[in-house]
Amino acid sequence: MNNQEYAKIILNELNQTIPHIDVDKAEQMKQLILQADEIFCAGAGRSGFQVKGFAMRLMHMGLKSYVVGETCTPNIGKDGLLVICSGSGSTKSLVCHAQKAKDIGAKIALITIDPDSPIAQMADVVIEISAPSPKSAKAGAITSIQPMGSLFEQSEGLFMDCMIMMLMEAKHMDSDTMFGRHANLE
């Protein structure tokens, strides 16, 4: 197969995930972000890369956003929101982050494949993305030609971009207003 044929298959796979995300849950996540004093973003591996992009876009909107584990990330408080991206919802380090946030009284939003995972049990809102992954409890329910958890990682990235657009609409922002916060030390 060539790249165009693979692209068509991948786009068809994404069409099985993104349009099926619960609209009410997405709205709940948007409200949690708008109500939070600060937003802390966490993920491991490729999900971690995706959530870092989300933290950047939140910063472009003028929101206080941080990536968990970075050296300049402050402590989370009771008015903070922890956004976790985890296909399995059971990555040990992320479970520990969720428990710490819960103990402090912060809110938790989880983007995951498994809505019954340990992190999901602690979360205030769970965004379920039905995608296959080697670590998924639902392996085999949806198939993908892509390796490992690629479909989930792409889907979570696209969902977070959708969330940014929902937040932009709520805050009456556009790309031009956001670009004013783009990094200038490049």
- Helix, strand, coil percentages in the chain from 3-state DSSP, rounded to 5: 45, 15, 40
Secondary structure of residue 128 in the 3-state scheme: strand
Helix axes of 23-35 and 150-170: crossing angle, nearest 10 degrees: 60
Cβ(159)–Cβ(127) below 8 Å: yes
Catalytic residue among 13, 128, 153, 156: 153
Dihedral angle computed from the Cα positions of residues 67, 83, 18 and 21, in that order, rounded to the nearest 10 degrees: 180
Whether residue 25 contacts residue 127, with contact meaning beta carbons closer than 8 Å, is answered with: yes
153 is catalytic: yes
Positions annotated as catalytic residues are 153
